[in-house]
Structure 1
Amino acid sequence: MKRRIYLTAASAAVTTAIAGCAGGNPEEDGDTVDEDDGDSDDAHSDDDQIDDDHETDDEDEEEDEEDDEPSDLLGTFDDFEDLDAWEARLGSLEADDEFAYEGSQSALLTTTESEEQVRIVRELSEPIDVQGVVPGLALSCDSAASPIIQLHDEDGDILQFQQHVTRGQPFMRRNFGHTSVSGDPDPSAITEIQIVSLVDDETEEELWVDDLHFVPRVEDGRVMIQFQRGFETDYTMGYPILEEYDLPGATFVPTARIRESAETDGDHLTEGQLSELVDAGWSVGTVGVRGQHLHEVDADAAESHVLDPLEWFDERGYDDARYFAFPGGRFDRRTYDLIDEHYDLGFADRHRSQGWASNHLTITRISGHVDQRNLDAEEMIDAVDWTAARGGITTIVFYEMDEDDAEALEATAERIAEHRDAGDLEPISPRELADEYVY
C-alpha cells in the first residue's frame, strides 16, 4: 500500500487534530464514541454468532441469479396474534395484550437468571424460499438486547440476521443485518425459523417481538463510506483517499461545531472544507447541533437540536442534506418523531448487509466502539467482501482519523474499487438509498 501526503489545513495556525476523541469535556461535547456506537459484528462472542467463513463459490453463483418476480413473502409473515405455532425451547414465551406494534398483542420473550438466552422456534408446515428476501422484526425491550433471526433448512444449516435494541426506544420495525451463515444453507427451502436473544449476565430480560416480516434483498451489494461528527480529518485524510479511488463519501456534521475559517481554533471541518467536499460529490447530513446522544438532550432543547441543522444547511445552499445519523444509535419517541417529520433518512442500527429498509430512519452501519474508535482494515475488508458475495447494503462509519485509520481506509477503498470494477458491488449515497431501497 502506498504512503500518501494528506491534505494540510489551510493555515498553519490551525490546531492539528489529535488521535482519539475530540478534546474538551467529552460528556458536554457529545463527541465521545461509547459502546453504543460499536457496530462491529465481531464485538459479539456468543455461540450463536456463527463464523463467517462458510460461504462457497456455489453460493456466490446463487447470489448472482436475479429473480424478476417479487417474492410472495414480502410484508408481514407472522403478526403473533396466535402463538400456537411457536415453541419456547429456552426461556419463556407468552402473549402481551397490552403492548404491541400492531394488532391486539405481541410476543413477550423472557429469560430467567439461570438461562443465558431465550429461544423460540416455529417449524414451518411447508418450506419457504427466502432467496430474494431478508427478515426483520418489530422490537422493544426493558434493557438492551441483540435479537437474532435464524432461518434453518432441513439439514439444520443456518442463515443468520441480527440487530440491537435499547430500552426507551419506540416499539417499531428494525432493519436486520445479515451477519453470518452456518454450514451450507439452502435458501430456497427454509423449514424452521428461530428467534434468539442472548444475555450477558445472570439477569432476567424481557424482549417484545411483533410483525415478523420480509423485505426485498439487495441482490448486488452496495457500500457507503460515511464520516460522522465532522472532524477535519474527513477532509485532510478521508477526502484524498476516496478521490483517488473515485469513491463518494458522506459526512454527518454537528453544525454548531463547523468552523467559519481555518483561523478558528478547533479540530472540526471549516465551512470552506465542507463546501469543497460537497462540490466534489460528497453527501452531507447531520448528527444534530452538537452531536449529543438524543435521549440526553433536554426536552425543551430537542426541537432546536434536531431542526437547527436544516436551517444551517438551507442558509448555505445545501438542499440535499435531510439525513440524520443518531449518535450512539440512541433516541426516544419525541426525537424520533421529530426526525421522522423533517428528515428523509436516518442511520441508527447495527450490522452489515441489510436488505431494503423497512424503517428508513434506522439504517444499519458498522463502526468502532469504546476501545477502538474506528474499525481496522481487516474488519472493513471482511465486511466489503461479505457484501460483494452476499448482497445487501453496508455502511462503514469513520470518526476522527489518525494515520493508522487512514491506511485502513485506503486498503478498504482499494478493495471496494476492485469489487466495483469486477461488477460485484457499487457505492451508494444516502439519496440513492432513500429513493431506491426503502420498502
Structure 2
Amino acid sequence: MKQSSTRRKLLATLGTTSVAALTGCSGSGTTGNTESSPTETTTKRSSKNQTQTSTKTPQSRDAPYSRGELVEDFEDFENARWGTIGGTISSDGSNPYAGSQSLRLENKNGDVAGIFKSFPDGLDLTKNDLSIAVKMEKPARGKFSAEVIAPARSDMLASNRFLVKELDGWVRIDLGYTGRQGDPILKEVQELRLMVLTPEGEPIKVWIDDLRVIPKPDRGAVMFHFDDNVASQYDVAFKELQERKWPGAVSIIPDTVNSEGRLTTGQMREMRDAGWDMMSHPHQPKPFPAYSPEKQREELKRAKRYLELKGFPDGARHFVAPYNRLSTETVEILKEVGYETGFSFGACPNNALQPSGMYTISRVQGTDPRGVRRLLNIAEAFNQLVVVYFHSIGQSDSDTSMNDFMNILDHVEKKDIDVITPSQLIDKK
C-alpha cells in the first residue's frame, strides 16, 4: 500500500484533477497541475495539419477505429511482456472493444489496478499521442491514469482523464498530458504505465483495449468555450478576444436567448460574423442521462434546429453537455441526430489533430488560472489541445473574476499555440 500511496501523491503533484464539484449548468472541476513550464515564445498562430496514418483496423461491435498504429491489442496479453502494478489482471473474451478480447483490471479492495510495459528500443511519441479504449464499471466515476517514463521516472509525463459515471460503455480517450516532471524525451519512452487509482476500499473494475499511437500536429492549440450565453460573454469575453483577433465559442441555451442577462440574437450574429461558433447546449432541470432516449433525442433535435434556423449552421454541429454529464446512450443519439462533436468535462488535454472520442472531447475549467496555465505550457511543448470553459466573467457574482480571465488570456499570448473553434477543429481551416 505504501508504494501505491506514493504513486498517488506523485500523480497528484503531476496533475491529478479535482472532481468534487461537478454541479451547476455545466459542472465544475479544476484543471491539473504540473511541475515545470517550457520556455515561452511569442510567435503567433497559424493552423497546421498533418496527414493521418492508418494501419490495422480493429473489428468492433460499434464503429471500427483505424487511426494511427496499433501498440497493443491485448489479444495475447499473457505473452506480451506486460507487468502488473496492482490488482488482478485478466483477459476477457466476453467484453471486447476490438478483436476477440479486452483486458480487465480489478481490485476488490481498491487502491490501484494497472499494468506496465518497458520498451528497450524506445517508443517514439515525438509525432504521436497515445489513445486507448476504456470501459469503467467501478469506480462509478473516476480517473484513468497513465505515466510515460521518458527515459526515467525523473523525466516523465502523467495523464489523468476523468470519466463521468453515465459513460459506462466503451469510451475512446486520448491520454492528454496533465503533468510533467524533469525533461521528458519522447523519442525514447522506456516505460508506459496504465492504471486506475481509488481510495483504499473503493473497488476497481475496468476494461481496456486497443492501445494506439495517433498522429498529432506540429503545434498545440487552445479553444475557449463560454457556457450559457451570459451577457458578460459579449461585454467582456468577446471584446477581449476581438482585440487579440481570436475566435471563441458560446454554448447556447435556446430558451434563454434575448432574456435579461443573456445574449441577444443580434449579439450572437455579430460574434458569428467574427468567426465564433454558437454551439448547442440544451438545458433541462436534470442531466441528460436522467431522461428517456426519446426525450434526449427531442431536445437535441430542437436545439440543433433552433441554431440552424437562426443562422448558426456551423455551430449547430457541436454539442456541449449540460452539467458536463452525458451517457453512452447520449453519444449514440448525438451521432443519430447529426452532431459532429460533443464536449464535456474530462480534466485533460486532447489530441489536437482529431480527438479520439469526438463526442467526449475533454474540457477543463477556467476558474483555476494556475492550472490552466500549466496545461497550456504542456500543450505548447507537446502539441496537444486544451479546451477551457467559462461561465460569467468579470461581474461581482461571476464564476471567473476579470483578473483570472485576463491572466489566462495574457498567458496564451505568450504561447506558440493556435486559438481555434470547434468548427476549425473539424473543418481544418
Preserved contact between residue 152 and residue 192 of structure 1 (Cα < 8 Å): yes
Structure 1 letter corresponding to 2:88:
S
Shift in Å, 1:135 = 0.6
**1:276 paired residue number:** 270
Find the aligned partners of 1:133 and 1:379 in 2 and give their Cα distance. 24
Find the aligned partners of 1:324 and 1:131 in 2 and give their Cα distance. 31
**1:393 paired residue number:** 385
Q: Secondary structure at the match of 1:317?
A: coil
In the alignment, does 2:144 pair up with 1:151? Answer: no
Find the aligned partners of 1:291 and 1:430 in 2 and give their Cα distance. 26
1:258-286 Cα deviation digits (max 9, x unpaired):
22xxxx4x433222222222223211111
Count of equivalent residues: 375
1:89/1:201 CA distance change after superposition, 3 Å: closer
Q: Secondary structure at the match of 1:351?
A: coil
Q: Secondary structure at the match of 2:270?
A: helix
Shift in Å, 1:69 = 9.1
**1:45 paired residue number:** none
Preserved contact between residue 31 and residue 291 of structure 1 (Cα < 8 Å): no
Structure 2 letter corresponding to 1:297:
Y
Cα RMSD, aligned residues only: 2.8
Within 5 Å, give how 1:9-20 maps onto structure 2.
Answer: none
Between 302-311 and 278-287, the greater mean CA deviation after superposition: 278-287
1:109-156 Cα deviation digits (max 9, x unpaired):
11232x521121122353221111111211111112211122223433
Find the aligned partners of 1:273 and 1:323 in 2 and give their Cα distance. 19
In the alignment, does 2:338 pair up with 1:346? Answer: no
1:227/1:292 CA distance change after superposition, 3 Å: farther
1:236-293 Cα deviation digits (max 9, x unpaired):
221112122222111011112222xxxx4x4332222222222232111112254852
In the alignment, does 2:50 pair up with 1:41? Answer: no
Find the aligned partners of 1:33 and 1:239 in 2 and give their Cα distance. 20
**1:17 paired residue number:** none
Find the aligned partners of 2:188 and 2:71 in 1 and give their Cα distance. 16
1:333/1:418 CA distance change after superposition, 3 Å: closer
Preserved contact between residue 152 and residue 190 of structure 2 (Cα < 8 Å): no
Equivalent of 1:52 in 12, 25, 35: 35
Shift in Å, 1:212 = 0.8
Shift in Å, 1:382 = 2.8
Structure 2 letter corresponding to 1:360:
M
Shift in Å, 1:398 = 0.3
Shift in Å, 1:433 = 0.7
Find the aligned partners of 1:107 and 1:389 in 2 and give their Cα distance. 32
Within 5 Å, give how 1:374-393 maps onto structure 2.
Answer: 374-393=366-385
Structure 2 letter corresponding to 1:366:
V
1:311/1:71 CA distance change after superposition, 3 Å: closer
1:345-391 Cα deviation digits (max 9, x unpaired):
22125234322312211222111xxxxxx414333333333323332
**1:361 paired residue number:** 359
**2:217 paired residue number:** 218
Structure 2 letter corresponding to 1:153:
A
Find the aligned partners of 1:254 and 1:67 in 2 and give their Cα distance. 32
1:286-316 Cα deviation digits (max 9, x unpaired):
1225485221233331111111111111211
Preserved contact between residue 108 and residue 204 of structure 2 (Cα < 8 Å): yes
Between 140-149 and 324-333, the greater mean CA deviation after superposition: 324-333
**1:417 paired residue number:** 413
Find the aligned partners of 1:376 and 1:93 in 2 and give their Cα distance. 37
Larger Rg over CA atoms:
1
1:215/1:154 CA distance change after superposition, 3 Å: same
User: Which consecutive unaligned segments of at least 5 residues does structure 2 have?
Assistant: 1-21, 41-47, 56-67
TM-score (norm 2): 0.80
User: Which consecutive unaligned segments of at least 5 residues does structure 1 have?
Assistant: 1-26, 43-50, 59-65, 368-373
Find the aligned partners of 1:332 and 1:56 in 2 and give their Cα distance. 37
Shift in Å, 1:330 = 2.1
Q: Secondary structure at the match of 1:310?
A: helix
Find the aligned partners of 1:155 and 1:78 in 2 and give their Cα distance. 22
Structure 2 letter corresponding to 1:158:
M
Find the aligned partners of 1:125 and 1:205 in 2 and give their Cα distance. 30
TM-score (norm 1): 0.78
Find the aligned partners of 2:405 and 2:247 in 1 and give their Cα distance. 13
Seq. identity, %:
20
In the alignment, does 2:178 pair up with 1:179? Answer: yes
Structure 1 letter corresponding to 2:77:
L
**1:160 paired residue number:** 158
**1:308 paired residue number:** 302
Shift in Å, 1:76 = 2.4
Find the aligned partners of 1:304 and 1:433 in 2 and give their Cα distance. 27
Q: Secondary structure at the match of 1:285?
A: strand
**1:293 paired residue number:** 287
